[in-house]
Copies of this chain bind each other. A is one copy, B any other.
Amino acid sequence: MSSYPQVTFSRTTFHGPSVLKNRKETISRTTVKAQLEQLRNTGRYDCFKLQWHPIYDDHSTWPVPKSLFWDSDVGKWIEGACYSLVHEYDAAIDAAVRELVDMIRSAQQPNGYLNVYFTVVEPQARWSNIRDQHELYNAGHLIEGALAHENYYKNGLLLEPIVKYVKLIRSVFGPDAQQRHAYPGHPEIELALLRLYSETKNQDAYDLAQYFIEERGNSTGQNGMLYYDWEEKQRGDTPWKRPNAYPMSHSHWYNQSHTPILQQKTVEGHAVRAMYLYTAVADLLHLDHVGLHTYKQNHEYFNALQTLWNNMVDKKMYLTGGIGAMEQWEGFGQDYFLPQGSDEGGCYSETCASIGVMMLAERLLHLDLDSRYADVMELQLYNTVMTAMSLDGKAFTYVNQLASSNKDKSARETWFECSCCPPNLMRLYGSLGGYLWDFGQENDSAFVNVHLYTTAQVQFEASGEKVELIQESNWPWGGIVSFKLKSTTPVITRLRIPSWSEGNYKVCLSPPLNDTSVTKGYLTLPASYTSQNPSFIIHFGGFEPRFISPHPYTNQNTLTLARGPIIYCVEDADNTWEKNHFKDITISAKARVLEEKRDCIGESFVGLRSTGRVRRLDTWTGRQAGLEPGSSGEVSALADERELVFVPYYLRANRGDEGHMRVGLVRSS
């Protein structure tokens, strides 16, 4: 049975009300069509007709012409649309997918090549700039689109040309002397190829993915040089010519090719590239794990992923789950460099990067069932990922700063020139059911590992018998989750204990469970038990508001309110007096916090209310610190009290305010 959320999601139904169900429905009913409209309006929809488009005359950007990603936008839309069709049929969506697939088929070249830009605009430049020009990235998204298409339509119309294209790519890249010893500048195709292999046993796909992963960062891979340096030389480019995302010459860490993956100790560079790459590495290990292939370096790569994951989570992740402080390369800064906003040193926290963390966490859970991955997956989902789409499903964020500034207000856009994030949200929410739980056969039993709580049910078969597990809860607002298991075959159930409720949960079972020890954050209910107690309830604490703060080495002396998996912020929609992005609002960890049930655009949530004080900076005006008279050990004086209204970070910028917002407030004593 496939374990990919992109496949398994169809086994899950969101049968009752929840925040997640709302998002899924918004995607299906609004976002898929709104984005189709964007594809049509911008020229992307028709691009596979291979006609000239005025944007192709724009040579103002290098190395990425403005239309370079168009194939991927179409591929991602097809993928998301197919997930949506599974849930809810829509004739217009169906017709658009069919037309797009026809156009894609017609665009394929006799040798199998399939890329709009390098067919229409610069055919002579094919495969000449693997580092920057996204040919393989686009191919990856076409593969993922084809897999989703095949799952829904089962007619081979997209898969067939894509497999032909993969065969061509496999002939171009590889270890043989006449092949290019390259690997994608923007990883993506690796994870797509492994899924293709997993679904179709296409050996080209597996070998190519493995080659890309193992060859990456080989400093003498091509004619004694790093491939990208060799390639640059072939193009006649000087090493001093470089993309804007490369702060210095040869900043190959930008795309994680500075050293082989096994030698990488810290997550560096472009965050989305890193997440897509490491997701593929995890999947390579997983395919070995489930016996689909024998991968010899299992242990080493697993250790590398552990090191990278820990570095990311412990030192380079915002408390909203966001990753990437640096705008220039859309990626990671130094350890503990996590300013809240772009006026304080940087805060990028791209939507796609957090989707990538979810993808990586999901794969890691299959290698190592440990709640630390699922905890982070949930943190991403309810915070950085969820804040990226407006409640109406029509507007998006690309970056997800923790504090606004005059330069970067808290605001949304309907589309972006580089529009990777909106269709990525379609894909993520479309396949969301697949992230809730894993399930399958384990020795003589079925099993369900429950990662995320909500109201949903899953159905699958084990030992030829139907298994159904239903969970119902008011998550993320309340911690009571009731389960009902319907199965004639024994089922082991494992329940994630969120770290923020650690030591603060109880399972309501009668008779009581003997062994309630928790292994790596999961509580196991043995098959013998659940067959006796098909209904059980788990009650999690941790739903009282709590103050959290980032690691002291971040130099962020701030407090943030959290409750369950939800991170809160203040914004001027509620706190209308604020005109300076809450820069001068302080709060004490001793402040009393009140909860209130609220409603926003038809969706209820738990709001919080507390009291802070304004810090007065008058005394600082015009005086260089080293020159101050007297002993000025005082933190700035605190003046007026302010009532503070907090809403979930995911709700920000939905209510037409001026865009003042902040997650972490200055701590006062």
Residues of A within 8 A of B (CB): 62-63, 238, 240-244, 247-249, 310, 313-314, 317-321, 328, 333-337, 339, 343-345, 375-376, 379, 383, 498-504, 542, 544-553, 555-557, 559, 562, 567, 583, 588-590, 615, 617, 620-636, 666-667, 669
Contact = CB atoms under 8 A, between A and B. Distances in A.
A408 to B, nearest CB: 12
A552 B629 contact: no
A666 B626 contact: no
For A244, A310, A319, which residue has the most chain B Cβ atoms within 10 angstroms?
A244
Contacts of A503: 629
A248 B241 contact: no
Given A337-B345, A546-B632, A622 B555 contact: no
Interface centre among A339, A345, A557 (most CB of B within 10 A): A345
A556 B624 CA distance: 15
B627 A499 contact: yes
A567 B626 CA distance: 7
13 contacts: A314-B621, A314-B622, A318-B626, A320-B626, A336-B344, A375-B627, A500-B628, A542-B629, A549-B625, A552-B636, A562-B626, A589-B631, A590-B633
A225 to B, nearest CB: 16
A37 to B, nearest CB: 33
Contacts of A542: 629-630
A93 B175 CA distance: 64
A619 to B, nearest CB: 10
B552 A328 contact: no
A336 B310 CA distance: 31
A318 B625 CA distance: 8
B627 A379 contact: yes
Given A383-B626, A498-B627, 9 more contacts: A241-B241, A244-B249, A247-B247, A319-B626, A375-B624, A499-B623, A500-B629, A501-B629, A567-B626
Contact of A548 (B62, B375, B625): B625
Given A240-B241, A240-B242, A334-B345, A321 B551 contact: no
Contacts of A626: 318-321, 379, 383, 548, 562, 567
A139 to B, nearest CB: 25
A552 B666 contact: yes
A328 B329 CA distance: 15
Contacts of A379: 624, 626-627
Contacts of A549: 625, 632-633
B627 A376 contact: yes
Contacts of A501: 629
Nearest to A63: B240
B240 A625 contact: no
A382 B622 CA distance: 21
A634 B63 CA distance: 48
Central interface residue in A503, A545, A624, A630, by most chain B CB within 10 Å = A624
Nearest to A615: B552
Contact of A310 (B310, B328, B622, B635): B622
A550 B310 contact: no
Across the A-B interface, the 9 shortest Cβ-Cβ residue pairs: A589-B633, A319-B626, A547-B633, A319-B625, A241-B241, A557-B557, A546-B631, A499-B627, A502-B629
Given A244-B248, A244-B249, A546-B630, A552 B334 contact: no
Contacts of A243: 240
Nearest to A247: B247
A625 B550 contact: yes
Contact of A628 (B499, B555, B583): B499
Contacts of A625: 319, 548-551
Nearest to A498: B627
Nearest to A632: B548
